[in-house]
Amino acid sequence: MLDLKFIVQNPDAVKAGALKKHIVCDVDRILELDVERRELVGSVDAARSAAKAAGKTIAQAPPEERAALAAKQGESKAALKAMEARQKEVQEELDRLLLLVPNVPAAEVPEGGTDEENVELRKVGEPRQFDFAPRSHSELGEAHHWIDVVRGARLAGSRNYVLLGDMSLLEHAVMRFAFDSMVARGFTPLSVPTLVRSETMVGTGYFPGGEDQAYKCDERDDLCLVGTAEVPVTALYQDEILDGADLPMKFVAQSTCYRREAGTYGKDTKGLYRVHQFQKVEQVVLDVADEARSLAHHEAILGNSEAILQALELPYRVVNVCGGDLGQPQIQKFDIETWMPSRDSYGETHSASRFHDFQARRLNLRYRDAEGKVRHVHTLNNTVAASTRMLIALLENHQNSDGTVAIPEALQSYLGGRKSIGRPIE
């Protein structure tokens, strides 16, 4: 969340940021509540001091005066109790509204309402020009019995699938290559829970507002399945104070991810593009509260993911995400979209985000700097590889005319040295 002091001092900038993101929040009500909160704090403190003094006065008063003084003190206590109740109401409303205020986007974030207005920064690689009629990943998967959506739906409902044989091996190969690549870049590997408390979803900015996209357990557990390892990794040191000398911390984690994909019925529902469960390797950075360092990390984690795509010989483009397509927590986000022949377009495969201290404030995640001052850390994250969309790109871009699929050199060692998978399709 944003610092309340920042909101009070910069209400117009906060309102402009919310408008740019197309997010509704009531800044004016927050300002009103803050004024009332501060007034109540003073009144409650004064009433408590008066009650304490009155208690001493009663104890020292003559017996004949004590009854009247006690009655008056009872009235004061009732007034204090009412003020305390109102103080609690004000604080709860203020806390609820603060969770709805979006981060202020960077000046470099373009105007726009949807992903169609994201601004292309660069393209890398040229989409392949086939001298035969290319098959979609669904057609290849069905022909080779690599992807079974019928039995996947029987097991778990629509938008579920089973990967078989070489496709399961290819998924593991991509994930392991992505994971190993990040470890080689100095990222600390983690294995993290995929079930987290609701407070962790709030802390990382997914709640409130994203509940319809999450799978929640019942009230007995108050647990949610994560849609990305970003959630448990970013929250790893929640409510702790880190040593600034230990920063930056760079982590990589692979996890199963779960998403409802609510509101996308009839859109991208065929095949593996928009599914409820997949594997993902995620990179997360925690560092000191320095804007220039955050920007440098943002470029670096974006470059890490681009290196993966280049090693896998996949054409892609990088876009600067516009305000209306930017989530509540982000300062700025770059998406990588990889070429997918069956779509005849680029499809989103990676999102690189920086948050400054927005997530850290919600998580109470802090560090002590060299001067001994306690500050909130800056957080960043980016996809390294998401299994299903990477499989789409690999199958469709590297297919051969006979229906076999060439394996990029970077993955061959993960598949026993094989240079292709599949048999010719008759």
- 317 catalytic? Reply is no
Strands (E), 76-149: 119-124, 147-148
In contact, 143 and 348? CB cutoff 8 Å: no
Global confidence as pTM: 0.93
C-alpha 171/C-alpha 44 separation (Å) is: 61
Q: Compute φ and ψ for 330, nearest 5 degrees.
A: -75, 140
Q: What is the DSSP letter of 399?
A: B
Give the pair of three-digit tokens for residue 65: 């005066």
CATH topology of domain 115-421: BirA Bifunctional Protein; domain 2 (3.30.930)
Residue 242's CB is within 10 A of a number of other CB atoms, namely 17
- Full pLDDT tens readout for the chain, 426 residues: 999 999 999 999 999 999 999 999 999 999 999 999 999 999 988 888 887 776 767 676 677 776 776 777 777 788 888 999 999 999 999 999 999 999 999 999 999 999 999 999 999 999 999 999 999 999 999 999 999 999 999 999 999 999 999 999 999 999 999 999 999 999 999 999 999 999 999 999 999 999 999 999 988 899 999 999 999 999 999 999 999 999 999 999 999 999 998 776 666 778 999 999 999 999 999 999 999 999 999 999 999 999 999 999 999 999 999 999 999 999 999 999 999 999 999 999 999 999 999 999 999 999 999 999 999 999 999 999 999 999 999 999 999 999 999 999 999 999 999 999 999 987
| Burial of 218 from C-beta contacts in 10 A (0-12 / 13-18 / 19+) | exposed
- 66 catalytic? Reply is no
Parse the chain into domains and list their residue ranges: 4-98, 115-421
- 260 catalytic? Reply is no
Element containing residue 282 per DSSP (H, E): strand 277-287
The active-site residue, picked from 117, 261, 313, 348, is: 348
CATH topology of domain 4-98: Helix Hairpins (1.10.287)
CA angle 32, 35, 41 (to 5 degrees): 135
- 389 catalytic? Reply is yes
- 197 catalytic? Reply is no
CA angle 392, 396, 399 (to 5 degrees): 135
The active-site residue, picked from 351, 354, 361, 362, is: 351
